[in-house]
């Protein structure tokens, strides 16, 4: 398990929008979405869905897998912290052949 805290992909989106001189509103319009959807994503209030990853890859270039990978890494980071005690209590499997 990783102790490294991951950032929500929406924060990366906010940086990318700003870097390109766009506003979240303009990004939403270009993506054919309601602006609150982008504002919520940029603030980390909602998850980045596969369809959103496809839309962002189309608009910004790159590939949707990168966006989904960021979301998965963030989700795992949150869950590792939330369930740290439970996970520590699980004894790893050791094969008889390994010992």
What pLDDT, on the 0 to 100 scale, is given for residue 2?
58
Residues in contact with 28: Cβ distance below 8 Å, sequence separation at least 6, in sequence order = 34, 35, 37, 38, 39
Which parts of the chain have pLDDT scores under 50? none
A 10 A CB-CB count for 60 gives 17
What pLDDT, on the 0 to 100 scale, is given for residue 6?
85
Query: Contact 10/48 with Cβ under 8 angstroms?
Result: yes
Say what the pTM is.
0.83
Diameter over CA atoms, the chain: 60
What pLDDT, on the 0 to 100 scale, is given for residue 99?
57
What pLDDT, on the 0 to 100 scale, is given for residue 21?
97
What pLDDT, on the 0 to 100 scale, is given for residue 52?
98
What pLDDT, on the 0 to 100 scale, is given for residue 98?
67
Domains, the chain, with CATH or none: 9-88 (1.10.260.40)
């Amino acid at each position: 398990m990783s102790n490294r805290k991951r950032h929500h992909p929406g924060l990366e989106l906010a940086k990318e929008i700003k870097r390109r001189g766009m506003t979240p509103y303009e990004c939403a319009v270009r993506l054919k979405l309601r602006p609150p959807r982008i504002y919520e994503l940029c603030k980390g209030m909602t998850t980045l869905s596969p369809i959103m990853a496809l839309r962002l890859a189309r608009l910004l270039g790159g590939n949707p897998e990168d966006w989904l990978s960021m979301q998965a890494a963030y989700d795992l980071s949150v869950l590792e912290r939330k369930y740290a005690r439970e996970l520590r209590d699980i004894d790893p499997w050791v094969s008889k052949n390994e010992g």
